[in-house]
């Protein structure tokens, strides 16, 4: 069972998850304590994305293919 399933859809492509600052301590599988479940999941999902196993990597180009683009409005 994925204890962070409720936060996966909110995880942004930039590797961010917006969380509240409520104080409801929770521990992850390794025993590390986090301020709340959202912050625990943000840490977990970010690590997954860095390993390439998360949802974040889907639209990212490898560094060799990235260009410096300027946004115009």
- pLDDT band of 65, cuts 50, 70, 90: very low
User: Coil, strand or helix: which one is 44?
Assistant: helix
In terms of Cα–Cα distance, which of 5, 13, 6, 2 is closest to 46?
13
pLDDT at 16 over 60: yes
Predicted confidence at residue 2, as pLDDT, reads: 63
Identify the architecture of domain 4-51 in CATH: 2-Layer Sandwich (3.30)
Report pTM.
0.63
Ordered by start, the domain boundaries in the chain are 4-51
Contact 55, 11 (CB under 8 A): yes
């Amino acid at each position: 069972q994925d204890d962070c399933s409720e936060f996966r859809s909110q995880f942004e492509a930039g590797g961010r998850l917006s969380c509240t600052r409520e104080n409801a301590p929770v521990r992850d599988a390794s025993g590390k304590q986090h301020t709340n479940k959202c912050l625990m999941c943000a840490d977990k999902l970010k690590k997954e994305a860095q390993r390439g196993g998360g949802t974040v990597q889907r639209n990212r180009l490898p560094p060799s293919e990235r260009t410096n683009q300027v946004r115009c409005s």
